[in-house]
Amino acid sequence: MNKIVLTVALSCSLSAQADIRLPKLISDNMVLQRDTALTLWGYAAHGEQVTVQLNDTVPGQAQVKNGQWQFTLPAQSAGCGHKLRFSGANQITLNDICFGDVWQASGQSNMELPMARLAEAYPQDLASASYRQIRQFTVPQQYNFDAPQQDLSAGQWQPATTEHIAGFSALAFYFARELYQHNGVPIGILNNALGGSPVEAWLSEEALQAFPDALSQGLRFRDKQLIADITAADQAKNNQWYGDLASRDAGLNSDTPWYAPELNHSDWQSFSVPGFLPQPFTGVWWLRKNVQLSAAQASAADTLRLGSVVDADEVYINGVKVGNTTYRYPPRRYALPKGLLKAGTNLIAVRVIATNSKTGLMPDKPYWLGTDEQPIALSGQWQMRLGATAEPLPADTFIRWQPLGLFNGLTAPLTKLPIKGVIWYQGESNVGREVQYQQRFRALIRDWRAKWQQPQLPFLYVQLANYLQKNPEPTDSGWAALREAQRRVQDEPHTAMVVAIDVGEWNDIHPVDKKTLGQRLALAARAVALGEDVQYQGPQLQSVQAQGDKLLLSFDQQLVLKPGQSFAIAGSDGHYRWAQVKLQGKQLVLSHADITAPLQVRYAWADNPDAVLYNAAGLPASPFAAQVSRPK
C-alpha cells in the first residue's frame, strides 16, 4: 500500500523550525469518536511543516491559523490498535489509539467518586478489572476565570485494568462497562467532575449572560489579587482556629496525653458508638476504648473501620497515630502497621473535631477492628471526654466553585473533539435553589451543545438520590424540589433522566451503589444515543384527573406497586395527607377519608422517601408533584 501523508503548512517562511507539540488530550491510548470526522490539532513555531499519518494512510484537509496546525481526519470505524505519527522538526508517535464512543462524565462528587471508594462493596470489580478498551482521561481540576483554556496542564489516557481502575469514576466505569459488554465498542471517558461544584461553575461566560448575578460573581475572580487575598485569609482563619483549638485541647496538653495507653479513663463519661453528642457542641472531644485481642487476632488485624465521623478525626492505637480525616464524608478505613497490635489489651483513642454544632459517629456504618473476613465489632460502650470548646468555624470561600471557573478551566479544552454524549450527576450543591437550578441546568445543556457544535448531543443525567432521615408525615423538602426541577428538564430534546430514588443511603450523601446507576445510564444511552428500541425509563405520569373524592393518575406503562407510603394528596388548603392507593393497570386511584375534593398529588416528595412505584422491568418512577389536569 502506498503511504499517503498530509502536509500542513503553518507559514510561507521556512527559516525557523521548532518542535511540534500536541495537546494533552491527543496522546497515547486515547479514544477518538468513531463514525464522525475529527479535527486534530497541535502547535508549532513559525515556518514549521507537519506531516501526519494514521497507520499507512490519512486523507484530509489542512487548516492554518495563528501558529496552530489542524487537519480533518475522516470518520473511522470502531476499533483499537491504531498508530498516529506527527513529523516535523521532531517526530511524535502515538500508539494504541482507539476509535469508539467518547463520553464526558461530569458533575460533582457523586460522579467524581472513584472506584477505590467502592472497594468494600465491589472488591471483585477492582481485583479483576481487565478492560483495555475502556479508557479514562482525568481532567486536572484547575479553574480559570479569565478565558477558556486552550489546553490542559496534564493528563493521560489509562485503561480500566487493575493498575488504574481505582482512580476511575465509579459511575462512569459501570456505565462504560455495561455499554462495552453490550456492543463491544471501545469507550473513552473524559472524567471531568469536581466535588461540591454548583451548576453555575460549569456555565460559559456566554451562557452566564442570562444570569447577571452569577456572571458578576464569577467575573470578580479575574482579579488575581482578590484570589490571593481570599486564599490567604481562609488559610489564616483555618490555621488560627485549628491552632487555637489544639493549644487549648486538654487531650493534647495534659501531662499524660489522652491517646496514651497508660491513661486511666475510668472516670470519663460513657458514650455509645455509633451516636451523636446529645447537645450541640463545637470544639474537640475524645473517645477511648480498650479492646482485648488474642495473639492470632492481633497478628491478623490489618484494618480499623470507624464509619463516618462528624466532622474530622485523628485516630491512635496504643499511642501511635494510625490515620486522620479532615472532613465528614470519606469513609474511615485506616490501615494498621504490622506489630502495632498485641495480645491482650489494646487502646483505641479518637480525637474528634466538631466545626459547627452537631458532632458524632454516624449510625449504620461499619465500626470494627480486624480484617474484612474477621471483623471485631467496636460498636457499643466507649468512654468520652470533652477537650476544648470553640466558636463555629466560618466557612471557606471555595473559589473553585464560583461561576464560570470550571467551564473555562476544565470543560473548554475538551470541546474541540467530538463526543458521543454527556453523563451528568450533580445538583446536591444547588438544593434550596430549585427554580434557579431548573433555568441554569437547562442553560448548561444548551451551552455545552453549542460549544461542542453538536446540537443533538445526548445529555443523560442522574436525578438526586434519596438521602437523610425518613419523615413519617408528608412534608416539604428541598431535595424533593430539586428533583422536580431535574424532572422538568426532561423536555429538552435528546435528554434522559435516570432515577436514583431507590439507591441512596440515608446517612451518606455518596451512596456506593454506582453499579445500578451505571446500568440505568447505559440503558438510556442505548435509547437516546445509539437509537435502540429499549425500555430505559420507569413509569411516566401522563395525567391527573379528579373523580369526586378521588384522584385518577394515568401512566404510560403497566405499574408495579411495592409496599410503602409515598403518595400524598391535598385539597384547596394545600395540606397533604397520605393517600390510600389502588392499582388499576396503568392507573392509580388515590383517596383520603378527610379530603372530599383532592386537587394536588405528590409522589416520593421527601428527602428520603419510600420508592414504591416501578414498571415490570424494575425501573422506578421519578418523584413528582402534580395538579388536577384542567380542560383545554
Closest among 504, 507, 500, 421 to 460, alpha carbons compared = 421
- In the prediction, which pLDDT does 516 show? 98
Does residue 153 form part of some domain?
no
CB–CB of 84/94 below 8 Å?
Answer: yes
All three cell numbers of 625: 408533584
Distance (Å, whole) CA 281 – CA 289: 22
Does residue 256 form part of some domain?
yes
CB–CB of 42/21 below 8 Å?
Answer: yes
CB–CB of 602/567 below 8 Å?
Answer: yes
- In the prediction, which pLDDT does 582 show? 98
Q: Grid coordinates 372530599 are at which residue?
A: 596
Say which amino acid occupies 482.
Answer: L
Distance (Å, whole) CA 57 – CA 77: 14
- In the prediction, which pLDDT does 65 show? 60
CB–CB of 518/472 below 8 Å?
Answer: no
Question: What one-character-per-residue DSSP string does 187-231 give?
Answer: EEEEEEE-TT--GGGGS-HHHHTT-HHHHHHHHGGG-HHHHHHHH
Domain-terminating residue out of 343, 364, 389: 389
CATH number at residue 562: 2.60.40
Element (H, E) at 86: strand 79-87
Does residue 201 form part of some domain?
no
CA 522 to chain centroid, in Å, comes to 17
Range of the domain at 568: 541-627
CB under 8 Å, gap of 24 or more: what pairs does 121-125 form?
Answer: 121/512, 121/513, 122/515, 123/372, 125/165, 125/515
- In the prediction, which pLDDT does 632 show? 47
- In the prediction, which pLDDT does 66 show? 75
Closest among 606, 202, 211 to 436, alpha carbons compared = 211
- In the prediction, which pLDDT does 503 show? 98
Does residue 44 form part of some domain?
no
CB–CB of 27/94 below 8 Å?
Answer: yes
- In the prediction, which pLDDT does 60 show? 53
Closest among 164, 168, 365, 197 to 275, alpha carbons compared = 365
Does residue 178 form part of some domain?
no
β-strand pairing of 421-425 with 91-107: parallel
Q: Kindly report the length of the chain.
A: 632
Does residue 350 form part of some domain?
yes
Domain-terminating residue out of 369, 389, 409: 389
CB–CB of 527/536 below 8 Å?
Answer: yes
Say which amino acid occupies 249.
Answer: D
Residues whose CB falls within 8 Å of the CB of residue 311, separated by 6 or more in sequence, listed in order = 327, 328, 353, 354, 355, 356, 359
Give the count of domains, the chain.
2
Domain-terminating residue out of 332, 359, 389: 389
- In the prediction, which pLDDT does 62 show? 47
Does residue 334 form part of some domain?
yes
Does residue 587 form part of some domain?
yes
Mean pLDDT by 10 residues, the chain (632 residues): 39 50 96 95 80 78 66 93 89 96 98 97 97 98 98 98 98 98 98 98 98 98 98 98 98 98 98 97 98 98 98 98 96 97 98 97 98 97 98 97 98 98 98 98 98 98 98 97 98 98 98 98 98 98 97 98 97 97 97 98 98 98 93 50
